[in-house]
Amino acid sequence: MEVVPVRLEARRVRFRWSDTSPDFIPNDPFTSHTINVLHLLLPEGERWFSRVFRQADPLITSESLREDVLGFIKQESMHAQAHSAVLDHYAARGIDTSPFTAKMEFLFGKLLSDTPPVGSDFTTNNPHEWLVARIALIAAIEQFTTMLGFWVLDAKELDAANADRVMLDLLRWHGAEEVEHRSVAFDLFQHVSGDYRLRVAAMALVLPVFLGIWFHGTRFMLEADPDVPSSMRASELGLVPRFEWAARRTKRLPSLAMFFAAAGRFVAPSFHPSKEGSMDGAIAYLARSPAVAALRSRAA
């Protein structure tokens, strides 16, 4: 698999949300709200990535890795801003997402803050180990954002379903940049630690938590949207078969098997994110993205 050095740039794209409905896939509120969970989850998570990576700077002894980490931080900060703007738009449309985002603030701002959780093996006397553990968690999360990036770039079924063009552009611009910077968190983890057992432990934690948050968020959105009939609501466990049905029959969502397979590849001793797939789809999308094109014409 190619390993092409890429200079990571933050594309300061803008999206116009005024014509986008929260049910952005016509007649498919379930899939729309399952994907909407990304707007609820990612901003706090991506801001946390940036805070953690800034702290890792003194540990970096390679200038090229430092440059990659800086590019990663800039891209993730831009992703967080873009997804937050969607939430502002949804609030104006009568969907208050703050009860859910408050939980994300607690997770990333308190539980995973610079102070290790009380009672954990990490103590305030050893901030280095806690920092390394959080970098391992980010590397594991980035395995899923990479998988989702490859998936959404290729998800022709969303186009066939007539999904909102602006939302698709946001998802694919973000997905392309996830593919573009897919190696940075893993390379940083290898640089500061490379402890294989820690890598496996991080994925063992991230896989169930990531999926749990996603189903919890889908339940939340189906209940928060006043336009969704109450018959569509279900518990998190009740949503699992519906998710899998949508993934397999409509192909408008990634399947659970894709998450487990991505986790399995991540814990293989010979894993490196560069082997996850080609950059071609991401480069091609960034060349035709309406938001990136608008950015280029503003800059010209």
CB 184 to Fe ion: min, Å: 8
User: Interacting stretch for Fe ion, rule CB under 5 A, among 113-121, 157-165, 174-182, 261-269?
Assistant: 174-182
Nearer to Fe ion, 29 or 175 (CB): 175
Is residue 146 a contact residue for Fe ion (CB under 5 A)? no
User: Interacting stretch for Fe ion, rule CB under 5 A, among 94-102, 142-150, 155-163, 232-240?
Assistant: 142-150
Which residues ranging from 59 to 88 are in contact with Fe ion (CB under 5 A)?
76, 79
CB 154 to Fe ion: min, Å: 18
CB 108 to Fe ion: min, Å: 14
Nearer to Fe ion, 79 or 252 (CB): 79
> Which amino acid is it at 121?
D
User: Interacting stretch for Fe ion, rule CB under 5 A, among 97-105, 175-183, 220-228, 290-298?
Assistant: 175-183
End-to-end CA distance of the chain: 35
CB 142 to Fe ion: min, Å: 5
Is residue 47 a contact residue for Fe ion (CB under 5 A)? no
∠ CA(107), CA(42), CA(88), 5° rounding?
A: 105
DSSP-derived secondary structure letter, 110:
I
CB 226 to Fe ion: min, Å: 30
User: Interacting stretch for Fe ion, rule CB under 5 A, among 88-96, 145-153, 271-279, 290-298?
Assistant: 145-153
CA dihedral sign, ordered 223, 228, 22, 28: positive
Nearer to Fe ion, 77 or 250 (CB): 77
The pair of structure tokens assigned to 54 is 């800034």
Is residue 145 a contact residue for Fe ion (CB under 5 A)? yes
Q: Whole-angstrom Cα distance, residue 292 to residue 286?
A: 7
> Which amino acid is it at 48?
W
Which long-range contacts link 169-172 to residues 24+ away (Cβ below 8 Å)? 169/15, 169/289, 169/290, 169/291, 170/15, 170/82, 170/83, 170/86, 170/291, 171/35, 171/38, 172/285, 172/289
CB 203 to Fe ion: min, Å: 16
What are the residue ranges of helices labelled H in 181-289? 184-192, 196-224, 236-245, 256-266, 280-288
Residues for the chain: how many in total?
300
Phi-psi region of 15 (alpha: psi -120 to 50; beta: other; left: phi over 0): beta
User: Interacting stretch for Fe ion, rule CB under 5 A, among 12-20, 137-145, 194-202, 215-223?
Assistant: 137-145
> Which amino acid is it at 104?
M
Contact by Cβ (8 Å): 288, 5: no
CB 272 to Fe ion: min, Å: 16
CB 254 to Fe ion: min, Å: 16
Nearer to Fe ion, 164 or 178 (CB): 178
Nearer to Fe ion, 44 or 178 (CB): 178
Q: Whole-angstrom Cα distance, residue 57 to residue 77?
A: 17
Question: 164, 183, 166, 147: which is closest to 13 by C-alpha?
Answer: 166
Question: Which residues contact Fe ion by CB under 5 A?
Answer: 76, 79, 145, 178
